[in-house]
Structure 1
Amino acid sequence: MLNRRRFLEQMGVATAGVALSSCGIKGVNAPQELSQEALAVEQIVNPKTLEKPNLTVGYVPVNDCAPFAIAYQKGFFRKYGLNVTLSREASWANSRDGIIFGRLDASPVVSGAVTNARIGAEGARHAPLCAAMTIHRHGNAMTMNKAMWDYGLRPWHEYNGDLERFGRDFRGYFDSLPAEARIWAVVLSSAIYEYFVRYLSAAAGVNPTAKFRVIIIPPPQMVNTMRIGAIQGYMVAEPWNTRAITGNEGVGFTFAQGREIWEGHPDRLLGVMESFIEENPQTYRSLVKAMIEACQYCSNPQNRSEIAQLITSPSFTGAKPKKGPIDKFTKPGILGEYNYGGFDKKKRIINDIETTMFFDLPSKLKQIPGDHSTFLWQSESIWIMTQATRWGQIKEFPKDAEKKAHQAWRTDLYREIAAEMGIQCPKDDYKIEPAEAFIDKKAFDPSNPIGYLNSFEIRANSPQTFYLS
């Protein structure tokens, strides 16, 4: 049983970490003026034809703010008749809640936030959120601390697919810790990062609800919270994994990129309220078009060096090193020159543009005509519902799951908007995720979600989640 005094002490340490690291972003503002390049862009949509041309759009200081930075700086918002004020959000909870409570017209949300808002999952805000597109796929990772390295844990690719061996190391490490120290951090409850941490643990034969707790910490605070020993590991978008490794902050190593848990997964969605779409249909179309063009720009390999440098600005990630190249922290995730780090002086760099996918998909993932990164498969929303059910965040799998997926992920609208831009899309809303896409080699067939759920031996009636945000 957890000792109350020791738990409060642990939470006090974590809170101190939040206070300490938040000082690093105090007073930072979003960009205030359009660039000359943006002002020179010719508008193809007259703002007077839009219901609401003046928008406030949020973003969070992680690498996937890149399409928002590009849409603003390159004039894609302006091109489609929008006058956008960007708002730098301190956390993913702020980004989501800003939409729900009307402070923001649109903002990126962590995959899972929109679906779970619709199904009423525990730990999620319950609201009629919608999304018609992803901002990117992949671009995130799990970081483990030096103590886990010293125990013998290594990056996933060095286990050569041996979940049993990894499970022994993982279980042994957490068994060696007092209960109050068994803590993982993610950026938002009831969302894909929490599910990935639990999925990985369960795939290795370790019940996550029995071995550790999950707390919620904003991205810029992860590194310092690990530095002070308040957490063992975390999952977050870049650049906050790269920042932790040896040669940078030196507090941890990257265990795995999220794409090693589920290759092709959606990370960030462009979230809005359903009422925004209903009341501002032409404005919404302009917003989606601007963001699609920005994602296409970010997807081009020739533009990625420029993007990695742009988002180091204090207005975006603020991830500038004290010495070395300006894009030392942002470049690995954007260009795909990804360093897993470690404490043995070995080089662990894997070059792959798939590290973050903004629009174009590699051939191995583009199996369906018209598929691309910003296209939302409603079957992926169904997968999220299976995980909310698996970990006890809803009592049972929704009987109207397909209806909920359609309400949340507006693939129908995206097809219409993309067609106006000459972009081909897949004709179906659902697809089977092949076994090789997942770390445990378990395929997902959205036509049989109950069978999929019943195939997992490790489940929970109710997860233990402590909130710190």
Structure 2
Amino acid sequence: MTSRPLTIGFIPLVDAAALIVAVDKGFTAAEGLDVTLVREVSWSNVRDKLNIGLFDAAHLLAPVAIASTLGLSQVKVPIVAPFNLGLNGNAITVSPALYAAIMGEADGDPLDPMVTAKALARVVTARRKAGGEPLTFGMTFPFSTHNYQLRFWMAAGGVDPDEDVRLVVLPPPFMVDSLASGHVDAFCVGAPWNSVAVDLGVGHILHFVSDILERAAEKVLAVREKWALENPDVLARLTRAHGQAANFIESPDNREEVARILAMPDRIDVNPEVIRRTLDGRMKISPDGTMRQSERYLLVGREGAARPDPVQAAWLYAQMVRWGQVAYSPEALERAKKVFRPDLYDAALGASAGSAHAVTDGVGAFDGARFDANDIAAHLGSVTIGRRFS
């Protein structure tokens, strides 16, 4: 088999695990692919280098793939995602001061996102009455799951994310320093940076994103649609390698080795133990050592996590509409759903490789509202806070 050279960009996050393991354990080489991984610091870099062809593929925020396809605030470059690199994996981390304030206002179980969202609303109101500055929350990109997850949580408790707080964009590796320096009061980011903040004593993990949405598409293996049409065999081989890597990662016997691979300086460059805790869903959530276990913290391959689900794309598109990033159209909704390509996944790995899951609407939002990917008007009509186009 002739070796095919590929260049793929990634951000140092644990949900790049399938990509990194596919390369570093030789799964891509076994498929006749010679892959060079390029570590980047910002999502705009990854997106732009993918769009102009400097990258053949990329570890990419799922909403960015949709935004690029629709030409939202960027060059219009259609993207397809044949493989989902991770479900969930994000968390909301807050400063010790904000954690104390929210706990002081919490009326009920603080693991319930509705309880903390309403507590946050009371904290925001008290700060405003006292003449204080609005709280500042960091997120990774305007078209990001982190942005939408923060907004979804806040708004459910009555906090308007555009009027009551500040949301600022920060690259993932810069989140911890920004929290430590007081530039932000909280952030939503992927692993391992929440754990790093806790280990340094500068943050408390308030919620796993899996508390807010049971299944949330996070990062995808993204390629340009034109490239996919021109290189179907190469894409199938790349997808197969990722499937093998995901299976390897999900085996508990391999977790220690995977953590060591991901921790390397040219990969994520953090303590392997932090990565191991993430893969196991065994998270230290407070500087005092309090631990929390969650089987849903990060899904790489199990429960059908790697198979792209157009329902997830529809939910992300609905958030873009809700927050005024795009006007709704049935055509755009269908185009967004077609970014996620389960057909390409099935062709490479077999339909049986995407096992069923128990979340009936494919999303599992904490507010209890059922999501219908074919009727996002109902979803949008059920919320009171938003910035939709008229």
Superposition TM-score, scaled by structure 2 size: 0.91
Q: Distance in 2 between matches of 1:62 and 1:461?
A: 32
Q: What secondary structure, in the 3-state scheme, does the structure 1 residue paired with 2:270 have?
A: coil
**Pairwise CA distance, 1:159:** 2.3
Counterpart check, 1:301 vs 2:252: yes
* Correspondence 1:115 to 2:66: yes
User: Which letter maps to 1:453?
Assistant: L
Verify: 1:172 aligned to 2:122, yes or no: yes
Output one character per residue of 1:15-74: Cα deviation in whole Å (capped at 9) or x when no partner.
Answer: xxxxxxxxxxxxxxxxxxxxxxxxxxxxxxx126xxxx1100111111122222211221
Distance 1:157 1:134, change over 3 A: farther
- Comparing 254-263 with 302-311, which one deviates more in the overlay? 302-311
For residues 251 and 82 of structure 1, do their structure 2 counterparts lie closer, same or farther at Cα, with a shift above 3 Å needed?
A: same
Q: 1:158 to 1:330 in 2, by over 3 A?
A: farther
**Among 57, 66, 71, the residue aligned to 2:17:** 66
Please state how far the C-alpha of 1:136 moved relative to its aligned partner.
Answer: 1.3
- CA offsets 1:292-341 (integer angstroms, 9 cap, x no match): 11111111121112212221111111113xxxxxx232222112211111
Are the structure 2 counterparts of residues 156 and 84 from structure 1 closer, same or farther at C-alpha, using a change threshold of 3 Å?
farther
Aligned partners of 2:32 and 2:155: how far apart in 1? 48
Answer yes or no: is 1:440 the counterpart of 2:364. Answer: no
What code does the residue aligned with 2:371 have?
Answer: F
Matches of 1:79 and 1:162 in 2, distance apart? 44
Q: Which runs of 5+ in 2 are unaligned?
A: none
Q: Residue 460 of structure 1 aligns to which amino acid in structure 2? A: R
State the SS of the aligned residue for 1:375.
coil
User: Which one of the candidate residues 79, 84, 102 is aligned to 2:53?
Assistant: 102
> What is the aligned-residue RMSD (CA, Å)?
2.4
1:138 aligned to which of 88, 94, 115: 88
Match of 1:207 among 156, 160, 165: 160
TM-score, length-scaled by structure 1: 0.76
Change over 3 Å in CA distance of 1:160–1:99 after alignment to 2: closer
**Equivalents in 2 of 1:63, 1:290: separation in Å?**
18
Evaluate the alpha carbon distance shift between residue 431 and residue 47 of structure 1 in structure 2; reply closer, same or farther with a 3 A threshold: farther
Q: Which residue in the other structure is 1:232 paired with? A: 185
Alignment of 1:183 with 2:125, yes or no, is no
Distance across 1 between alignment mates of 2:46 and 2:366: 30
Query: Given the superposition, is the C-alpha separation of residues 151 and 93 from structure 1 closer, same or farther in structure 2, using an over 3 Å criterion?
Result: same
- Given the alignment of the two structures, is residue 47 of structure 1 paired with residue 2 of structure 2, yes or no? yes
Q: Deviations over 1:375-411 (max 9, x none)?
A: 111111111111101001112x222145303541222
Residue 179 of structure 1 and its aligned partner are, at CA, apart by 6.9
Q: Structure 1 counterpart of 2:93, which letter?
A: T
> In 2, distance between residues paired with 1:279 and 1:84?
18
Alpha carbons of 1:354 and 1:152: their partners in 2 closer, same or farther (altered >3 Å)? closer
Q: SS state of the match for residue 346, structure 2?
A: helix
Match of 2:278 in 1: 333
Matched, 1:56 2:7: yes
For 1:355, the equivalent position in structure 2 comes to 297
Instruction: Read off the aligned partner of 1:126 and give its amino acid letter.
Output: K
What is the rounded CA distance, in whole Å, between the counterparts of 1:162 and 1:374 in structure 2? 26
Q: Give the aligned partner of residue 386 of structure 2.
A: 459
1:288 and 2:233 equivalent? no
Quote the Cα distance in structure 2 between the aligned partners of 1:158 and 1:447: 34
Task: Look up the equivalent residue of 2:23 and give its one-letter code.
Answer: Y
Distance 2:41 2:108 in 1: 33
Distance 2:344 2:118 in 1: 47
Q: Which residue of structure 2 lines up, in the alignment, with residue 20 of structure 1?
A: none
**Who is 2:196 aligned against?**
243
CA contact (8 A) 2:306 2:354 kept: no
What is the CA–CA distance in structure 2 between the aligned matches of 1:229 and 1:438, rounded to whole Å? Answer: 31
| Equivalent in the alignment of 2:339 | 408
Q: Distance in 1 between matches of 2:355 and 2:250?
A: 19
Question: Corresponding residue for 1:8?
Answer: none
> Larger deviation: 166-175 or 407-416?
166-175
Structure 2: distance between partners of 1:413 and 1:457? 38
Does 2:44 align with 1:93?
yes
Residue matched to 1:365: none
The one of 349, 374, 379 aligned to 2:311: 379
Q: How many angstroms does 1:278 deviate by?
A: 1.4
Q: CA deviation at 1:128?
A: 0.9
Amino acid across the alignment from 1:359:
G
Shift of 1:125: 5.2
Shift of 1:290: 0.8
Q: 1:392 aligns with which of 320, 324, 328?
A: 324
Classify 1:217/1:445 alpha carbon distance in 2 versus 1 (closer, same or farther; 3 Å). same
Report Cα offsets for 1:331-388 as digits up to 9, x if no partner.
221122111115xx3x531223432211112xxxxxxxxxx11111111111111110
Question: Number of residue pairs matched?
Answer: 383
Letter in 2 for 1:444: F
Residues 1:159 and 2:110 aligned together: yes
CA distance in 2, matches of 1:161, 1:243: 23
| Letter paired with 1:432 | D
Note if contact 1:375-1:425 (Cα within 8 Å) is conserved in structure 2: yes
| Contact 1:337-1:349 at 8 Å conserved across structures | yes
Tell which structure's C-alpha radius of gyration is larger.
Answer: 1
The Cα of 1:195 is off from its aligned counterpart by 0.3
CA contact (8 A) 1:288 1:417 kept: yes
Tell me what 2:146 maps to.
Answer: 193
